[in-house]
Structure 1
């Protein structure tokens, strides 16, 4: 009789996950961070895809609709058309006898003491409210004309500014410029600051001392003076804006990364990497920079709205985005000057700016928690 030896069943093998997969899993579990990312995507779609779905351009001027409040109703309304066509008839030097509107078509009868030139219909087409005006009948030896045409109705969901431009189209354009400048300038400051700060903090000694003194020298230079010098040498352009801002904002990034590097270079895993014979650049690239990602990501989410404000400051001085181009910061500055007469000029760009700010903060906190080496 022999004993039957049974071996315990081995647990099923589980697929291993990389550090990036684990970080992505932790990030998806953060509801606030995911909500912030969804909001950022919606704002980006509104800014970059929205202009393709509206009929107005950012520089299109509507003289008849200057500083009108936001509304879901089409403009003009039936009550204002009578006043509008009387004004057009006055400019054409004719007298309005009859006027009626049926749906999208209007009919009018105008008279004068002298024969009326049929080209007077151009006065009607020049108004934003009427289009395709033509003469359908001539009476009294040309002294009476019967006109017909279409009523051109426009929607201004965000209202218009003091120049009669659609605020929604300008908010979309402002989002394009503000988001692009914020991200590109932050990318420039991230690339320079992380590499500079990690190198300075890890090497230390005289190299660190010289590199930090250089940073302090740049801190002492006036920001506006630096921008003016660069504009004089390279000319005014959109690319120069984010290059200048990024070239200044990297100073804070370098200091933050240097402080993190000074704390990391004394850790055991850095000593183990040195014992394995890794070069300084390999240690900086593989161990120092990845372990500073958490604070750096959070700082980047703070830099983006700061860059947007800096861009609006440059535009106010005439060194940034020039009219008819605009940005959220420039729209907010314009709306603040007209807050009593036209508060919607401030409300709508401020809403998008604040939503972007909160979304970046929530996304940054989620990225910090997901990329924190202590949670791995």
Structure 2
């Protein structure tokens, strides 16, 4: 009997030993991060937003031009153009391009940099022609029929030798000869600043307003929600316009105007989350331990509602950018010569037919930024949803 028991307690061989216990399951944060990085549109949006912020901060510093610097001689230059070459008898070669919208010739170097405006001879008003002399070579700019064309003295039309990017002004220039690229980057700085500051103000007002309303409940909740409903009945755009008229135009005014009314959606979402969480057992345990309402709200309820708060915050940023751009478009945003995407769009509409590139860049920036934040919000919503675990 003793031998049998001893055999039961003999040490097992190495190959018969049990395997090591499995590693602990990943936490909620690790799972959320993994799901977010598996969402390709969200990852691309994060990269785009980071690059946009870096370009808005450092881009204007690296540019040789300022957002207000004007050069009327180089107005309305496109970002790409057909190039022409004229060679004199002494072998001197002149490279230039024709701006068919304002009938000007601009000299280029071999790399595509704009050197300046070429001056021609006296215009023939009746024939709508202007001569240009390059050494002993002479050509005529004929704009009697559109599009304008270049013709030699023998009547042969001069054809483009190729095309080139504008290496001096990568996005071209506007009607005042200002660099569109640096104004675009400065506009990104203004638009993103308005969006982030206004959203941050909305975050604090909406979170604590909705949290207090949902936690206290009763008459306090009823009164606070009636205030929210009164604000919601007024169209947001109309309310912002009225505030902008009172505060006058300017960057600070539009931040105050958007931040003062943009928090109602956040307050409603936080209130709904607090109403569903305050009946949980851990809240009752905190009350039993004599925790104050402020501690329960800030240390227990709001941290557990952080997922919907972050998603809503991400969704509010593109809305703030759109509202700021719209206010600037109708003349109630930042004042010239400051540039935002809305003012750039408003200025480009005036020259849309002749210079569509001036409208393309700010419109593309607004659209891509709104898409990026919406995709990021969708990715965060899926990543922070506990039902996805």
Both structures adopt the same fold (TM-score exceeding 0.5): yes
1:27 partnered with 2:36: yes
Tell me by how many angstroms 1:340 deviates: 1.7
Contact 1:328 1:350 in 2 (8 A): yes
Contact 1:198 1:289 in 2 (8 A): yes
Q: Return the alpha-carbon distance in structure 1 between the equivalents of residues 106 and 133 of structure 2.
A: 13
Deviations along 1:105-140, one digit per CA (max 9) or x if unpaired, are: xxxxxxxxxxxxxxxxxxxxxxxxxxxxxxxxxxxx
Deviations along 1:54-80, one digit per CA (max 9) or x if unpaired, are: 322211112122222212789994363
1:228 partnered with 2:245: yes
Following superposition of structure 1 onto structure 2, how do residues 38-53 of structure 1 map, counting pairs within 5 Å?
Answer: 38-53=47-62
Q: Return the alpha-carbon distance in structure 2 between the equivalents of residues 100 and 15 of structure 1.
A: 82
- TM-score of the superposition, structure 2-length normalised? 0.70
Tell me by how many angstroms 1:24 deviates: 2.7
Deviations along 1:124-182, one digit per CA (max 9) or x if unpaired, are: xxxxxxxxxxxxxxxxxxxxxxxxxxxxx961221111111111111111111111111
1:280 partnered with 2:298: no
> Structure 1 stretch 173-182 or stretch 39-48: which is displaced more?
39-48
Q: Return the alpha-carbon distance in structure 2 between the equivalents of residues 72 and 339 of structure 1.
A: 17
Contact 1:43 1:352 in 2 (8 A): no
Within the candidate set 301, 308, 311, 1:298 is matched to: 311
Structure with bigger helix share is 1
Following superposition of structure 1 onto structure 2, how do residues 100-119 of structure 1 map, counting pairs within 5 Å?
Answer: none
Alignment partner, residue 348 of structure 2:
335
Alignment partner, residue 223 of structure 2:
210
Q: Return the alpha-carbon distance in structure 1 between the equivalents of residues 81 and 132 of structure 2.
A: 32
Q: Return the alpha-carbon distance in structure 2 between the equivalents of residues 355 and 97 of structure 1.
A: 44
Structure having greater relative contact order (Cα 8 Å, sep ≥ 6): 1
Within the candidate set 159, 170, 179, 1:157 is matched to: 170
Q: Return the alpha-carbon distance in structure 2 between the equivalents of residues 37 and 270 of structure 1.
A: 36
Q: Return the alpha-carbon distance in structure 1 between the equivalents of residues 46 and 213 of structure 2.
A: 34
Deviations along 1:279-329, one digit per CA (max 9) or x if unpaired, are: 322332233323333333332233212212222333345442111111112
Tell me the secondary structure at the aligned position of residue 307 of structure 2. helix
Following superposition of structure 1 onto structure 2, how do residues 1-376 of structure 1 map, counting pairs within 5 Å?
Answer: 2-3=6-7, 4-6=9-11, 9=18, 11=20, 14=23, 19-71=28-80, 77-78=95-96, 80=105, 84-86=118-120, 155-219=168-232, 222-231=239-248, 237-316=250-329, 318-375=331-388
Tell me by how many angstroms 1:276 deviates: 4.9
- TM-score of the superposition, structure 1-length normalised? 0.72
Question: Number of residue pairs matched?
Answer: 314
- Call closer, same or farther: CA 1:10–1:166 in 2, change over 3 Å: same
Contact 1:32 1:363 in 2 (8 A): yes
Contact 2:240 2:257 in 1 (8 A): no
- What are structure 2's unaligned runs of at least 5 residues? 85-93, 98-104, 108-116, 123-130, 137-165
Q: Return the alpha-carbon distance in structure 2 between the equivalents of residues 100 and 194 of structure 1.
A: 73
Q: Return the alpha-carbon distance in structure 2 between the equivalents of residues 49 and 365 of structure 1.
A: 29
Q: Return the alpha-carbon distance in structure 2 between the equivalents of residues 259 and 175 of structure 1.
A: 34
- What are structure 1's unaligned runs of at least 5 residues? 89-95, 102-152
Alignment partner, residue 125 of structure 1:
none
- Call closer, same or farther: CA 1:258–1:275 in 2, change over 3 Å: same
Deviations along 1:84-113, one digit per CA (max 9) or x if unpaired, are: 23469xxxxxxx998659xxxxxxxxxxxx
Deviations along 1:182-229, one digit per CA (max 9) or x if unpaired, are: 111111101110111111012110110121222234445633223333
Q: Return the alpha-carbon distance in structure 2 between the equivalents of residues 348 and 320 of structure 1.
A: 19
Tell me the secondary structure at the aligned position of residue 161 of structure 1. coil
